[in-house]
Structure 1
Amino acid sequence: MIEQVFERVLFACRWLLAPFYAALGIGIVVLLVKLFQELAHFVLHMWSATESQIILGVLTLVDLSFTASLLIIVMFSGYENFVSKIDHTDHKDWPEWMGTIDFTGLKLKLMSSIVAISAISLLKAFMDIKATPDRELYWLVGLHMVFVVSGILMALTDRIAAGHHDK
């Protein structure tokens, strides 16, 4: 009986994750405000901006959209994997991938998004290479390579583990 009560309490604790996913929704709102700030700055300075500044502005918008997309992936996949399934029968435009990503797929999507965000940050630094200190460039390249290698190792580990379970 104690074991059953303990297991029920433990199982109910998954709902403690729900506020974390709600907080990520607030994070998207904050990113949206930042997007509008960047967009206003971008549009107001487009006539006097150089080509490099325009590209940097566009890369900033892409970076913000990737980050917001990453939050959506974490919110929906995490919620469905760890808290509760979402009834999406009333949502005609429900993306197919939602509800089908397991924890392994979530990790790989997260890592891919982090690598993409890192690549954009690196590209932004290279677009303004004269103003970027060498030390900062070294750190950006080093961190990007750590993300890339980590992603590859995660994918390989998951592939090996999946092959091991198939036997």
Structure 2
Amino acid sequence: MAKPIYVLSGPNLNLLGTREPEIYGRQTLEDIRVLCEVRAAALGHTIEFRQSNHEGVLIDWIQEARTEACGLVINPAGYGHTSVAILDALKMLAVPVIECHLSNPAAREAFRRETYVSLAATGLVSGFGGKSYELAVEAAAHLASVK
């Protein structure tokens, strides 16, 4: 069986739909999971969709993706701006890494405009709400197929 695309979400994203809907929209993380599953299936892939508020758990999953995934989509949330440890884990991956954000960090506060994750990411999708995840899954699937 083909390896799945890992889709990882960081802290506070479990509260999507109620957390600052004017920035992040009204879709829940469950709504986004369904979008990703449908898009991946249409492209002949499956996903492993996970969320954690804990940095170490995210690192464990990134390390797992080294051998278990064909690509990785990650919305690091606040950890993108603070976690060198997540960057170091991502740098060990040989699969495509797509950084994903619901909002457009470049249009927000100065501290959100750069992430450590971008230093290891193959590409970035941001600013499209829940559709950002769907587009990121599409990019990961495409890159995994041409590798």
TM-score, normalised relative to structure 2:
0.29
TM-score, normalised relative to structure 1:
0.26
Indicate the structure whose relative CO is greater, using CA pairs within 8 Å and at least 6 residues apart: 2
Larger radius of gyration: 1
Greater helix share, structure number: 1
Greater strand share, structure number: 2
